[in-house]
Amino acid sequence: MIAIHNISKTYGEATVLKIDKLDIPRGQSFGLVGNNGAGKTTLFSLLLDLIQPSSGYISNKTIKVHESEDWKPFTSSFIDESFLIGYLTAEEYFYFIGELRGQTKTDVDKLLAQFEDFFHGEILNQKKYLRDLSKGNQKKAGIVASFIGNPEVIILDEPFANLDPTTQIRLKGIIKKLAEDNAVTVLVSSHDLMHVTEVSDRIVVLNKGEVVKDIQTSEATLKELEAFFAGNAVQSSEEE
Amino acid sequence: MIKKFLSLQWKEFFRSAAFQKGIAIKILLVLAALYFGGCALILGVGLFFILKKAVPGIDPMTTVNNFIIFWFMLDLIIRYFMQQMPVMNIKPLMIIPIKKKTIIHFLLGKTTVSFFNILPLFIFVPFCIVLLFQNSDFQYAGVNVFAWFISVIAITQALNFLNILVNKSNTVFYITLGLLATFGALEYFGIYKITALFGMLFNGLYNHPYLVVIPIALACFLYYLNFDYLKKRFYLDGAISKEVKEVETSDLSFLDRFGSISTFLKNDVRMIWRNKRPRQVIFMSCMFLFYGLIFFTQEVYREMPAMLAFASLFITAGFLFSFGQLVPSWDSEYYKMMMSQNIPYRQYLESKWYLMVLAVLVSFILSTPYIYFGWDIFGMIAAGASFNIGINSFVTLFGGALNRVPVELNAKAKAFSNTQGFNPTQLLIALPKMLLPVLLLYIPYVLFGLTTGIICLGVSGIIGLFFKNYFLNIIEKTYQKGKYKTIAAFGEKK
Task: Judge whether residue B16 has pLDDT over 70.
Answer: no
Beta bridge partners of A21: A5
Interface confidence (ipTM) of the complex = 0.85
Number of CB atoms found within 10 A of residue A156's CB: 22
CA distance B265 to A70: 24
Question: Using a CB-CB distance cutoff of 8 angstroms, which residues of chain B are in contact with residue A92?
Answer: 249, 270
Strands (E), chain A: 2-11, 14-24, 29-33, 55-60, 63-64, 75-78, 153-157, 185-189, 202-207, 210-216
Beta bridge partners of A204: A32, A214
With CA atoms as reference, the chain A residue closest to B340 would be A48
Q: Answer yes or no: do A85 and B334 touch at CB < 8 A.
A: yes
DSSP states of A5-74:
EEEEEEETTEEEEEEEEEEE-TT-EEEEE--TTSSHHHHHHHHTTSS--SEEEEEETTEETTT-STTGGG
CATH of domain A2-239: 3.40.50.300
Q: Does B252 touch chain A (CB under 8 A)?
A: no
Question: Using a CB-CB distance cutoff of 8 angstroms, which residues of chain A are in contact with residue B242?
Answer: 132
B395-446 tens-digit pLDDT: 988 888 877 777 878 776 654 444 444 556 666 777 778 888 888 888 888 8
Torsion-angle region of B59 (φ positive above 0: left; ψ -120 to 50: alpha; else: beta)? beta
CA atoms within 13 A on the CB side of B28: 17
Question: Using a CB-CB distance cutoff of 8 angstroms, which residues of chain A are in contact with residue B341?
Answer: 72, 76, 97, 100
Give residue A178's identity as a one-letter amino acid code.
Answer: L
Q: Does A124 touch chain B (CB under 8 A)?
A: no
Task: Judge whether residue B76 has pLDDT over 60.
Answer: yes
CA distance B26 to B119: 20
A210-236 tens-digit pLDDT: 999 899 988 888 888 888 888 876 665
Q: Does B247 touch chain A (CB under 8 A)?
A: yes
Q: Does B139 touch chain A (CB under 8 A)?
A: no
CA dihedral sign of residues B393, B397, B398, B399: positive
> Residue A188 in 3-state DSSP?
strand
Of chain A, the percentage scoring pLDDT greater than 90 comes to 43
Pick from B1, B227, B229, B228: which is nearest to B96 by CA?
B1
CA distance B285 to B152: 30
Pick from B312, B336, B335, B316: which is nearest to B324 by CA?
B316
Quote the pLDDT of residue B326: 83
Task: Judge whether residue B139 has pLDDT over 90.
Answer: no
Task: Judge whether residue B143 has pLDDT over 70.
Answer: yes
Quote the pLDDT of residue B353: 92
Question: Using a CB-CB distance cutoff of 8 angstroms, which residues of chain A are in contact with residue B340?
Answer: 48-50, 72, 75, 77, 83
Quote the pLDDT of residue A147: 92
Average model confidence (pLDDT) across chain B: 81
B21-58 tens-digit pLDDT: 556 666 776 777 788 788 888 888 888 888 888 878 78
Average model confidence (pLDDT) across chain A: 88
| Domain edges within chain A | 2-239
Q: Answer yes or no: do A84 and B334 touch at CB < 8 A.
A: yes
**Terminal-residue alpha carbon distance, chain A:** 42
Question: Using a CB-CB distance cutoff of 8 angstroms, which residues of chain B are in contact with residue A102?
Answer: 342
CA dihedral sign of residues B282, B285, B289, B291: positive
Number of CB atoms found within 10 A of residue A33's CB: 25
Nearest Cα of chain A lies from the Cα of B248 at a distance, in angstroms, of: 8
Instruction: Give, for B161, the enclosing helix (H) or strand (E).
Output: helix B142-168
A65-124 tens-digit pLDDT: 888 888 888 999 999 888 899 889 999 999 999 988 888 889 999 999 999 888 888 888
Q: Does A141 touch chain B (CB under 8 A)?
A: no
Region of poorest pLDDT, from A209-213, B7-11, B65-69, B148-152: B7-11
pTM of the model: 0.74
